[in-house]
Amino acid sequence: MKTAIPVEEAARRIPDGASLMIGGFMGVGAPHRLIDALVARGCRNLTVIGNDTALPGIGVGKLIASGQVARVITSHIGLNPETQKKMLAGEIEVELVPQGTLAERIRAAGHGLGGVLVRTGIGTLAAEGKQTVEIEGQTWLLEPPLRADFALIHANQADYAGNLAYQLTATNFNPVMAMAAGTVICEAREILPIGMIPPDGVGTPGVLVDCLVGVAAA
Amino acid sequence: MDAQELIARRVAREIRPGTLVNLGIGLPTHVAAYLPPGMDVYLQAENGIIGLGARPPEGMEDPDLTDAGGGFVTAIPGAARIDSTLSFGLIRGGHLDMTVLGGLQVDALGRLANWMVPGKLIPGMGGAMDLVTGARRVVVAMFHTAKGAPKIVPRLELPLTSTRRVDLIVTEMAVIEPTDAGLVLREIAPGVDVDAVMRATAARLIVSAPVGQMLATV
To the nearest 10 degrees (0 to 180), the angle between helices B84-92 and A99-110 is: 120
* pLDDT higher than threshold 70 for residue B133: yes
Domains (range + CATH), chain B: 3-213 (3.40.1080.10)
Contact B139, B167 (CB under 8 A): yes
* pLDDT higher than threshold 60 for residue B25: yes
The model's confidence at residue A217, banded by pLDDT at 50, 70 and 90, is low
Q: Quick one: what percent of chain B has pLDDT higher than 90?
A: 91
Domains (range + CATH), chain A: 4-213 (3.40.1080.10)
* pLDDT higher than threshold 60 for residue B218: no
Q: Could you give the residue numbers annotated as active site of B?
A: 46
* pLDDT higher than threshold 80 for residue A216: no
CA distance A99 to A104: 9
Question: A interface mutation test: which of B44, B125, B138, B164 has the most A CBs within 10 A?
Answer: B125
B123 vs A contacts (CB less than 8 Å)? 76-79, 84
Q: Which residue of A has its CA nearest to B64?
A: A170
Cα A64 to chain centroid, rounded: 15
- Report chain B's mean pLDDT, rounded to a whole number: 95
Residue B119: its pLDDT value, please? 86
* pLDDT higher than threshold 90 for residue B209: no
What average pLDDT does range B145-165 have in this prediction?
97
* pLDDT higher than threshold 90 for residue B38: no
Cα B201 to chain centroid, rounded: 19
What average pLDDT does range B23-34 have in this prediction?
92
Residue B1: its pLDDT value, please? 86
Q: Is A35 helix (H, G, I), strand (E, B) or coil?
A: helix
Q: Which of A47, A36, A88, A84 is nearest to A69 (CA)?
A: A47
The alpha-carbon gap from A101 to the nearest alpha carbon of chain B, in Å, equals 8
Complex ipTM value: 0.96
Question: Closest partner residue to A172 among B67, B84, B121, by Cβ?
Answer: B84
Of B215 and B162, the one with more pLDDT: B162
Cα distances from B170 to residues A102, A199, B3, B90, in angstroms, run 30, 48, 11, 25
The model's confidence at residue B217, banded by pLDDT at 50, 70 and 90, is low
* pLDDT higher than threshold 90 for residue B178: yes
Residue B123: its pLDDT value, please? 93
Instruction: Centre a 10 Å sphere on the Cβ of residue B43 and count the other Cβ atoms it contains.
Output: 23
* pLDDT higher than threshold 80 for residue A111: yes
Which residues numbered 33-62 in B keep a CB inside 8 Å of some CB on A?
45-49, 62
- Report chain A's mean pLDDT, rounded to a whole number: 97
